[in-house]
Amino acid sequence: MTTLDADKQLQLLIKFGGLVSREPRLDPLLELIADQVRAILNADRCTVFLIDLQTNELWSKIAQGLEHQEIRIPMGKGLAGITAVTGETINSVLAYGDPRFSADIDRVTGYSTRNALTVPLKNNKGEMLGVFQVLNKLDGGDFTGDDIGLLTLLGTVAANSLENARLYEDIRRTQLETIYRLAITAEYRDQQDTALHLKNISAVSCLIAMSMGLSADDCEDIRQASTLHDIGKVGLCDAILHKPGKLTPGEYEEMKKHTIYGAKILANTESRLLRVAYRLACAHHEKFDGSGYPNKLKGGEIPLEARIVAVADVFDALCMPRVYKPAWGPQRAYDYVMAESGKSFDPEVLAAFKAAFPGILKIYENLPVGG
């Protein structure tokens, strides 16, 4: 029999609001809430169920040892499902004797529910977000009227944070998907095997960034944003974009404008990720010695992300067949890129490229090589 003294409970309660309001990501938030609520209610388990409007189900991540397994139950089924539909609080003192109880989850987790307190989770507009459920009171007794009040209160506090985290997640997902779709748009117009090119550049850029010790967030931004570096090619005419051979100097001048077009497409954005994409589109053909285009930027004037992607871009272009050249082997491409140290490329980026090269080679191992 384990009891929780009132002092400890009050301490946990005071901390609760601050803790949940500081976590914007949904999964860690759900874990945090379940942990805290379990402790505050002195219950063995707490499950936070959220409503999936698309499928009309409740879903939750259930701790299974160290793993978290996603479980889903239909609206209306079991204690949680009923509460989600009717909005009623259910204090089931003997779960297995309660016809409303569903043992589906217990069967999955191998858990044995003795008693269960289930309350609705509503946002401040009164809309149902999901259900809070605590299982097996640890002092051996039943959940009380006080527990009902407490769990309802915690639900109200958590609902706001949960709703924010959901919105945040949705926006993040939409952003990534939009970026990917935008990149595909450019791909459609390019004759080269651009899908693979984009995937490689993204992976190689990220590996270089990691090898330079950039933060996980920065590496992830570079990985995502690099897929858009050539988006400006959508502004080029077919005659140049699809020319089956070497470009004339005049055509090459036109081709260079893809950096300007890309910058225009991506300019003036508030999004952190799209700002990285903007800098990449604009500066990925700048060279370290100032001989690149479109702005002849030099050294540190070139954004770091662009100095990284420049190496990945040229390395990958050399490894791929082009209408104007066959594919080179990765070693030949590596040697070429290294020889451009201080000319095309930043020596520090190349040092990181060198360190990451064994990992990079793995990406290219299975590609056919022509010349």
Between 105 and 273, CB nearer to ligand SIN: 105
- Taking CB under 6 A as the rule, does residue 231 contact ligand SIN? no
Name the closest residue to ligand SIN (Cβ). Answer: 78
- Ordered alpha helix ranges (H), 190-303: 194-211, 216-225, 238-241, 249-256, 258-266, 272-283
Q: Is residue 343 near ligand C2E by the rule CB under 6 A? A: no
Q: Does 259 bind ligand SIN (CB under 6 A)?
A: no
Closer to ligand SIN by CB, 116 or 165: give it: 116
d(CA 237, CA 85): 57
* Per CB under 6 A, 287 contacts ligand C2E: no
Pull the structure tokens for residue 257.
Answer: 């404008």
318 binds, among ligand C2E, ligand SIN, Fe ion, none (CB under 5 to 8 A by kind): ligand C2E
Tell me which amino acid residue 265 is: I
Q: Are 138 and 130 in contact (CB under 8 A)?
A: no
Q: If binding is defined by CB under 6 A, does position 105 make contact with ligand SIN?
A: yes
DSSP letter assigned to residue 247: P
- The verdict on 296 binding ligand C2E (CB under 6 A) reads no
Contact flag: residue 317 with ligand C2E (CB under 6 A): yes
313 touching ligand C2E, by CB under 6 A: yes
User: For ligand C2E, which residue of 324, 335, 339, 343 counts as binding (CB under 6 A)?
Assistant: 324
DSSP string across 36-73:
HHHHHTTEEEEEEEEEETTTTEEEEEEEETTEEEEEEE
Q: How far apart are CA 200 and CA 223, in angstroms?
A: 10
Q: Which value, to the nearest 10 degrees, does the dihedral of the CA atoms of residues 62, 64, 66, 71 take?
A: -40
Structure tokens at 42: 């002195």
Residue identified by tokens 């003036």 is 268
Q: How far is the CB of 268 from Fe ion (least distance, A)?
A: 21
**Residue 46 or 308: which CB sits closer to Fe ion?**
308
Q: Which helix (H) or strand (E) holds 162?
A: helix 145-189
Q: Work out the widest C-alpha separation in the chain, in whole angstroms.
A: 85
Nearer to ligand SIN, 117 or 282 (CB): 117
Number of residues that bind ligand C2E (CB under 6 A): 13
**Catalytic annotation present for 243:** no
Figure out which of the listed residues 26, 48, 101, 200 binds ligand SIN, where binding follows CB under 6 A.
101
Residues 273, 175: contact at Cβ < 8 Å? yes
Name the binder of 243 from ligand C2E, Fe ion, ligand SIN, none, CB < 5-8 A by kind: ligand C2E
96 binds ligand C2E (CB under 6 A): no
Residues 222-261 close enough to bind Fe ion by CB under 5 A: 230
Question: Which of 176, 161, 92, 107 lies closest to 130, judged by CA?
Answer: 161
Catalytic residue, chosen from 61, 137, 233, 287, is 233
199 binds, among ligand C2E, Fe ion, ligand SIN, none (CB under 5 to 8 A by kind): none
Terminal CA-to-CA distance of the chain, rounded, Å?
Answer: 75
In one-letter notation, the amino acid at residue 122 is K
Cα distance between residue 159 and residue 103, in whole Å = 26
Q: Considering the complex, what minimum distance in angstroms separates the CB of residue 241 from Fe ion?
A: 12
By a kind-dependent CB cut-off of 5 to 8 A, residue 116 interacts, out of ligand SIN, ligand C2E, Fe ion, none, with: ligand SIN
Contacts to ligand SIN by CB under 6 A: 47, 78-80, 101-102, 105-106, 113, 116, 135, 246, 324
Catalytic residues: 233
